Amino acid sequence: MSESQKSLLEFLEQLRRERDELDILIKGVEKRLGIVTDAHASDLSVTPRIAVPIDSIPVGFFHNLTQADAAEKLLRLNAGHPLTTPEIVDVLRRSGMILNSKNAVTIMYTTLNRNPKFERVADKAWGLSEWYPDKRKKKETPEEWVTLGEKQIKY
């Protein structure tokens, strides 16, 4: 074995020791943050799922985000767990986002309903469309289109 190979082997062993130490530190931080890992540490292909209680989101967490972007960020914190419109509005308000309107829930519903990133789940909650890849999108019926001259427009 050449000297350079021996050096590389020693370096590799040092990195492995450091990785073991880092894995212990990472597990401690994940535990403190409430991150649940669904796989063994050796399976690097699985990303840990973050389980963040919605009442523990800090003030300013959604600062300078639109309502849609804030709702998306909130839903991504607990991937796969849809939230109702009032829950989303409540969390955004508690984080300091200003939603003064008495129609805030209706406005949020309309915002999410018009955005293709969101999917209505069981007629009561919202999830991200990417969570439901097999859900069929609403098809436009031919009655929704009208021919005006040479153009077809949706009405």
Residue 9 lies in a domain: yes
- pTM of the prediction? 0.56
For the chain, give the mean pLDDT: 77
Q: Are residues 66 and 110 in the same domain?
A: yes
Q: Are residues 33 and 58 in the same domain?
A: no
Q: Are residues 94 and 70 in the same domain?
A: yes
Using a pLDDT cut of 70, give the percent of the chain over it: 70
How open is the CA angle 14-15-18, to the nearest 5 degrees? Answer: 90
CATH no. for residue 61? 1.10.10.10
Q: Find all residues with CB under 8 Å of 51, minimum gap 6, and list them.
A: 34, 35, 36, 78
Q: Are residues 56 and 127 in the same domain?
A: yes
More confident: 65 or 38: 65
Give the per-residue pLDDT at 43. 44
pLDDT per residue as tens digits for the range 9-45:
778 778 888 888 888 888 777 777 666 554 444 444 4
Q: Are residues 67 and 122 in the same domain?
A: yes
Q: Residue 118, Cβ neighbours under 10 Å: how many?
A: 20
Domain of residue 79, residue span? 52-131
Domain count, the chain: 2
